Amino acid sequence: MKQPGLFITLEGIDGTGKSTQHRLLVQYLRKLGHRLRATREPGGTRVGERIRGILLDLSTKRLAPMAELALIYAARAQHLEEVVRPSLGRGETVVSDRYNDASLAYQGYGRKLGVETVRAFDQIVCGDTQPDLTIVLDLDPRIALARAQGRETRRNSRRGRFEAQGRQFHARVRAGYLAIARQEPSRVKVVRADRPIAEVQAEIRRLVDDFLERESEVGSRGATSR
């Protein structure tokens, strides 16, 4: 059964600006008075952060794609149990920096495991707990990876396993996200990320406002018909 809270996810290849836009969107929704749970994947729980460490660690050289997928869904199962479902059940708005579309795009398309395989995991682990609105930040992989590398240099940190993949890998992941958006146009909105941060955020807020308006109409219709 659909839980009372709203579930919004931000997606896109590495370096498109998800975490930046996530922070700004969370600020906006809090100002609007939403009871809000900000979270991220892989991670979002202690177990999940440890799995994230394995997934992003460059020294994890020979992780089989299927092992990668299973680890991600293990982290997601924990995240659903500890964070997402309890928050949605309390009527909170959950805003996650990545969720299950990332597995379709990265493991299904990027690692070429295929959509069917990823959907099989998804049905078992996520079931009905699917995002209500997904924003895909779309950007040429060359620009996105340059941004991610710039961030790493500034922070004096190293790039992770996914960023270290070539441009072709990220081009497949990007194509995967765009395919998902074409298949589910009412849930998934593509936002061009080759613009200043404030402009990208303004478009995201417009999309979220439209979505909230639609949801409140559905909600009030539901209330009168009962």
Ligand X SMILES: Nc1ncnc2c1ncn2[C@@H]1O[C@H](COP(=O)(O)OP(=O)(O)OP(=O)(O)O)[C@@H](O)[C@H]1O
Verify binding: residue 34, ligand X, rule CB under 6 A: no
Residue numbers at the binding site for Mg ion (CB under 5 A): 18-19
SS3 93: strand
80 with 94: CB under 8 angstroms?
no
Long-range contacts: 69-73, Cβ < 8 Å, 24+?
69/103, 69/107, 69/111, 69/113, 69/117, 69/118, 69/121, 70/121, 71/42, 72/41, 72/42, 72/102, 72/103, 72/107, 73/103, 73/121, 73/122, 73/125
Q: Cα dihedral sign for 66, 70, 76, 80? A: positive
Nearer to ligand X, 16 or 45 (CB): 16
Burial of 49 (0-12, 13-18, 19+ CB in 10 A): middle
- With binding defined as CB under 6 A, does residue 17 bind ligand X? yes
Interface mask toward ligand X for 42-71; x: CB under 6 A: ------------------------------
Q: How far is the CB of 15 from ligand X (least distance, A)?
A: 5
With CB under 6 A as the contact rule, the residue among 4, 53, 91, 150 that binds ligand X is 150
CB of 208 to ligand X, least distance (A): 17
Residue 151 or residue 195: which is nearer to Mg ion going by CB? 151
Residue nearest to Mg ion (CB): 19
Work out what residue 14 binds among ligand X, Mg ion, none; the CB cut-off runs from 5 to 8 Å by kind.
ligand X
16 binds, among ligand X, Mg ion, none (CB under 5 to 8 A by kind): ligand X
The contact set with ligand X (CB under 6 A) reads 12, 14-20, 147-148, 150-151, 193, 195-197, 200
